[in-house]
Each structure stands twice: as structure tokens, then as C-alpha cells.
Structure 1
């Protein structure tokens, strides 16, 4: 036993020595700072997504606006259409004018629209404000993802990325909890007032959030880049230029021969992923309500769905750092498909919560790893654009999810049919990701 302990101690000392030689004695403070700020911005997106599903049963109630299922599904899709445009434009702009600028502008726009949504007197104005809020939300993901990736040590890049992206599910948890505690006493509008509070943090972002050093270097702002390097005493690993074979134009294009297959496959998987996430987060409370569960219980199902995504997503991120990400993603999507299909059967409450937890982990939680996989598959010049475009195309799934479920529920097809739809989509996502080129093959020479 003593010999074994001494042997492990020697290994740890050797690894520490190698790390010190590489310039990383500990996790940089700026890595933690950037991760926390970007986590908060993704938290805001998660809250915005889930809050509509939380208030939907109230809006469909005759005492509210009395929306039909088809109207509710369409209204849920308007915000997602805005996210589609925001993600497309934001992903490109944050590679052009900076990650920090896009994050601040996105938070400001989203917060203002949350205020207007809380004041909306009619469903039509509510839908318009949700669409405009989606424009702001769409710009957050590519810029926050790029910043987190670029300020994380290579060895822990997936881990920090997944930690950051877990804010999405935590935001969903916050929205579900807000519904449980505030809707009955303060009404559904109070949840949108809460959603406007991120605007108060913008001065903090302006002062403390650093711009991407990679962006500054790529745009000939070497003086600013040098100041950041000196300010945070960053080691070489954070600031050295990423070397890639081929021409600069080829490396920068996500539609070049080198990256085309990856871009297409990621876009397809994102369509399925967002259909699952947005479809289930929008409709799960109402589906469970139609299955015979009371309102508070339905909101608790949504809470479990998102809470399990936080824990499961972080664990999956660590596993993906050690194994091939596409195999991890494929397995978890398949696991999600099985649990979702089983939700069509009425079990006792304990089994039901377990199945919903697995579904949340396998849908929302898997997306944490999927986004990290995208960031690893591309280089410094195009990873924000890649995630922005792939997630923007994926918004077609986000738009389709609430609409399809709304149509099915309007047809009185039975709540089970929605779980069949989600289960099939999860199986398809599980299969498509397996065809992704390996990291080495994508970056290999022509």
C-alpha cells in the first residue's frame, strides 16, 4: 500500500512539473472570470426559453388569453425564429466586431424586450416582443462559447465549456421555480419582469469581461492583445496562434472542403437537438397536465427535466474529454430516446420522475457536449461562426418543435403521440452524429 501511494505521488509530482514547464501552474483567474460571466449569459438564455413553457398553461386557460394549442405553438416559435436570425447574424458579427460587444448588445436587447413582454396587452404584441427578444438571445451562444473556449486551458477546454453551458439548464430550473413560487401570487407577467434583470449587470460586463485575444490578434489589434496578456499574466498556451494547414481562407471557411461535412452534420444534429429541447421545454407542463397531473406537479416535471441536465451534462462533458465525443453524444441521445418513448406509458410517480430526469440529461444535457464538440472541431478563426451557423440552422428544429406539438395537441391525438415524435427524433440524432469526421481527419491536410 505504501509503495502504491508513493508511486502515485511521484506521478502527480511529474505531471505538476510538466504543467509548470508548459506555463500553467494553476487555472488562470481570467479563465474563471470569463467562464462565470459567460455562464450567466447562457443562464439568461435558458431562463428565456423555459419561461414560455412555464406560463403557457396560464395563457391557454380561459381565465387568461384562452389560446388554442395551435396559437400557443405558433407563439412559442416566434421567439425561436428570432433566435434563428440572431444566432446567424451574431455568430458572424462576433468574429467581425468582437465577442464582448455582441454579448453586451444581446443582453441589452433581450432585457428590454422582456420588459415589453411583461407589459404586452395582447397576444399579438406578446409574440412580436418575444421575436425581438429572440434576436438578442440568439447572439449570446456563439459569442459566449467562443470566449469560454479561447480562455480555457486546452486540457480542460471541454470541461470549462460544459460548466459554462450548464447555465442553460440552470436558467430553465430558475424559470420553473419562478413559476412554482410566483405565478399564483404575482401572475405570469412577474416572470418576465424577473427576466429583464440581466440589464443591471451590463456595467459589470463592460468593466470586467475581456475581449478575445484571438479576435484582437486576428484583427491587427496587437497592442490591446498585449495589454490583456500582460494584465492577466497569461501563459503561452492561451495566446499562441493556432497553426492549421492550408490557406487562411480555406481554414476560415466553415463551408470549405475541409469543414463542409462537419458543418452539414452538425447542422442536422442541431435541428434534432433543438426540436427536442424547445419542443419539450415549451410543452412538457401542458402535456403532463393533459395526462392528468395538476399544474404544480407539471411544473415540477419541468424542474426535474432541467435540473438533471445540469448534473448529467457536466458528467458527460468530463467523459467526452476522455473518450470520443461523438460516441458519448450518440449513446446519450439513444438513452434519451428510450426514456422519452417510455414516458408514453403511465408509471408511478417515482419512475416517471426518473424517466424525465434521463430525458432532460439526454436532450438538454447532451447539447452541452455537442456545442463543445463543435468548438473543438474548428479553429480560432471560424469556431464562433461554425457554432453560430450550425445552431442557427438548428433553430428550424426549435421552430418546428413547438409548432408540431401544438398541431398534434390541437388534433386531440393524445399526449402519447408527442413522446413518439420526440423519441424518433432522438434516435435519428444518435445515428447522424456517428458519421462525423474525426478531429484528426477534419484538420488533416488535403
Structure 2
């Protein structure tokens, strides 16, 4: 697939050869920052439930059992499944910008209602609807970032944008350490409403996808946008294989069917790892004998490592075939997670948690970038939306499976064994994704 990024020009359109060597333009930075902020709240929403879970299981609050807590953790993820299923299709049909901002508003409202919930049942309903918003954010933000990134830096820019996910997780873990004791768990959900403040700014400054405007016969709007931001199409000769076809049908065509199925399966494994560990890690480490603050520190390190590991892996994926990078990092995650079943001294445990965060959440940044580059400009939002939506089955299953294992009383080690096996499978499956002959980086 030829690249379709846009770069800023000064007096005249850039040639393809020089475009790839230009520094990042102002519009690339603007789009990346806004999308980073939207992904930040996704990460915050994921980890905040894990941070408050021990409180919700406390008899002085709702006294949830492990099975109940696992099921409740899956409600938001079930909402993400539904949201991702339609979010990519809607963003390809109605525009990335509209879907992104409406999803962010919906998520923020549900955060507020979650803070006000007076029963586990109402809390579960609000969490499910919040998941719908998160599901709509991901494909729209992914498509915008990819389309406005120059080809040379596309993987790195995408990974930098998606570090918002891990930064959101870090913010949730730090908030739990600082605010749960003095203010209670509800305060963390009030904090989760703050990102809605970026909506007016994004409405004014976030541009729509030029490829979307062109594909939807809005040529005049596309031209005005290109002139306003001094953009030049870097790959004017790109084959528009799906410009007028249904993007949902195209990702299941003969050309993409195997890739779509394999990417979807890998996302199931990836989300089972990420959501299972982020939901239950503090409670598992509590069961292993660590105090509450130390357990939240594990969650903090897990997400911090994902930030730096994801950036390193993203830079490597711009130089090495992404599937090799993904294979290696998942295997590294499997090894470190398996070793977590042994209680070493605290420094070694922190190191293993860091490697696990890098190899799970950090690898998913590169995986998403790989998916976006594997498809063309007309169906990539649908591809990432559908594959990640199918992956939500793993997200839903992760918290439930861990809850069941914990309720069986077989020991915290068995959860780590489960996660390690899943990471090994992901490491192997990625190697079977067929190489896209039009994409040299596949």
C-alpha cells in the first residue's frame, strides 16, 4: 500500500521524495495532541476500575465478591465491544471528527453518573454506556493520527499518540494512591469528567480527515482544508481500491480476509492480557501479601513501562518488520509474567511488572499501528474498529476469568500462568499475518 500522509508545505507542493524527510508539521502535531488527549481518557477509564476495585470489594462499601467484581469489570468492556463495532463504520461514513467528539462527550457524562451511582446495578449500567463512548474514540483517533502522519514517522507518531492510553492508566493509578484514602473511590470518577473540557477546542481546531472528505465526494471541503493548513497530498497516485466500495465489506474481501481474522484473534489475546491485568493486578498483589499502596504502585509501574516501551517498540517498528517486533515483545511479556508467580524481592518484582507492561500494553500500540498501515485509507478506520471490537471479547473475558480463578482459592500464581500462556500464543500468531505486497513494512 502506498502511503497517504499529509505534510505541510511552504510555497509549493512537496515532492514525494522530499516529503518523507520533512520534520513533523504543525498540523500533524495538533492532530496527534488532540487524539492523545482523547486516548488518555480511555486509559484512565480502564485503570480506574482496577484502582477502585479493592474498595468496592470492601464490606464497608458494596462488598462485591470476586465473581461479581469480575463481571462488573466486564460491563464497560462489553460496551467497548459494541462501540468499537459501530465506531469504525460510523467514522468512515460520517467523519472521524464528529464520531470522536460525540464519543468523548458520552464518556465524560457516564463518568459523572458513575461517581453518583448508589448501587452496583446502576454503576454497571453507567459503565456499560461509558464503554460505548470509548469504543467510538479509538477508531476515529487512530485513523486521524495515521492520515496526518508522514510516512517516515507513521509508526512512531501513532505510538506517541497512543501513549495517551498508558498515561491515562498512570493518572488513574496515581489518583488512587493519592485520593482514595482521603476522598473515597467516587472522587476518581469525578476526575474522569475533566477531559470533556477539550471538546470546544477540538471542535474549532481539529481538522476532518481529508481522505474521508474526498471519499465522500466533499472535494471542495477537502480542497479548502488543504489550502488552510498548507497541505499537499504526499501520495496523489495512491490506488483508491475501496474509495467507492463498502469499507466493511472490503476488509473481509479475499485480499484482507486472513489478515482481518488474524488481527482480530490477536486483539482478543491482547485485550485479555491488558484488561485482565489492569483490572485485577492490585487485588492479585494484595492477595500475594502486599499492602494496598504497594499494590497500586505495581499498577503504576505496569502503565509507566508501557509508555516508554511502546515508544521504543514503535521506533523499532519503523525500521524492522512490525510483526517481528510484536512477536519478540509478546514473548518477553510471557516470560516476565510467568516469573511474577515467584515472590522475589520487591525490586525484582517491580522490574518484572515493568517488562510485563511494556510487553502487553506497549506492544498493543505497535499492533494498532501495524493494522492501520496494513489497510488502505478508505477502510483502515473500519479495520481497526472491527478487529479491536472483536478483540473486546478478550477484554470482557479477562476480568471474568481472573475473578473465577480468585474465587476458586487456587492461589494468585495461576492467574499469572494464564496470562503467560496467552502472551506466548499471541507471539506465535502474529507471525502468520500475511505480508501485504504493497506495504514493505508488513
TM-score, normalization by structure 1: 0.93
Q: How does 1:348-387 map to 2 (within 5 A)?
A: 348-387=345-384
Query: Which residue in the other structure is 2:69 paired with?
Result: 72
CA contact (8 A) 2:326 2:366 kept: yes
The alignment of Structure 1 onto Structure 2 pairs a total of residues equal to 426
- Deviations for 1:142-165, whole angstroms, at most 9, x for unmatched residues? 000000000000111111000001
CA contact (8 A) 1:92 1:384 kept: yes
- C-alpha distance in 2 between matches for 1:328 and 1:20: 27
Task: Please say if 1:157 is aligned against 2:154.
Answer: yes
- Which secondary structure does the structure 2 equivalent of 1:53 belong to? helix
- Stretches of structure 2 lacking an aligned partner (at least 5 in a row): 1-13
- C-alpha distance in 2 between matches for 1:29 and 1:326: 30
Query: Which residue in the other structure is 2:422 paired with?
Result: 425
- Which secondary structure does the structure 2 equivalent of 1:256 belong to? coil
- C-alpha distance in 2 between matches for 1:246 and 1:74: 40
CA contact (8 A) 2:371 2:383 kept: yes
- Deviations for 1:94-141, whole angstroms, at most 9, x for unmatched residues? 000000000111000000000100000000000000000000011111
CA contact (8 A) 1:79 1:130 kept: yes
- Deviations for 1:228-257, whole angstroms, at most 9, x for unmatched residues? 1011101231x7363156995388610000
Q: How does 1:5-404 map to 2 (within 5 A)?
A: 21-22=18-19, 25-237=22-234, 240=236, 242-243=238-239, 249=245, 253-404=250-401
Tell me the C-alpha RMSD between the 2 structures. 1.7
- C-alpha distance in 1 between matches for 2:374 and 2:266: 15
Higher Rg of the two aligned structures: 1
TM-score, normalization by structure 2: 0.94
Shift of 1:413: 1.3
Distance 1:228 1:23, change over 3 A: farther
CA contact (8 A) 2:96 2:143 kept: yes
Shift of 1:197: 1.1
- Which secondary structure does the structure 2 equivalent of 1:381 belong to? coil
- C-alpha distance in 2 between matches for 1:370 and 1:258: 19
Query: Which residue in the other structure is 2:5 paired with?
Result: none
- C-alpha distance in 2 between matches for 1:79 and 1:322: 36
- Deviations for 1:263-315, whole angstroms, at most 9, x for unmatched residues? 00000000000000000000000000000000000000000000000000000
- C-alpha distance in 2 between matches for 1:334 and 1:173: 24
- C-alpha distance in 2 between matches for 1:441 and 1:218: 21
Distance 1:23 1:332, change over 3 A: closer
- C-alpha distance in 2 between matches for 1:41 and 1:250: 27
- Which secondary structure does the structure 2 equivalent of 1:235 belong to? strand
Shift of 1:199: 1.4
Shift of 1:359: 0.2
> Counting helix residues as a fraction of each chain, which structure ranks higher?
1
CA contact (8 A) 1:320 1:328 kept: yes
- C-alpha distance in 1 between matches for 2:119 and 2:410: 29
